[in-house]
Amino acid sequence: MDFMTGMSVSASGLAANRKRMAAISSNIANAQTTRTPEGGPYRKKEVVFGAEPAREYFSDILEGEMGENIKKVHAMEIVSTNKPPILKYEPNHPDANDEGYVAYPNINLTEEMAEMISASRSYEANISALNTSKSMAMKALEIGR
pLDDT in tens, 12-51: 999 999 999 999 999 999 999 999 998 889 999 999 999 8
Sorted by sequence, the CB contacts under 8 Å of residue 35 that are 6+ apart come out as 41, 95
The overall pTM is greater than 0.75: yes
Domain ranges in the chain are 3-143
- Asked if 23 and 78 touch (Cβ cutoff 8 Å), the reply is yes
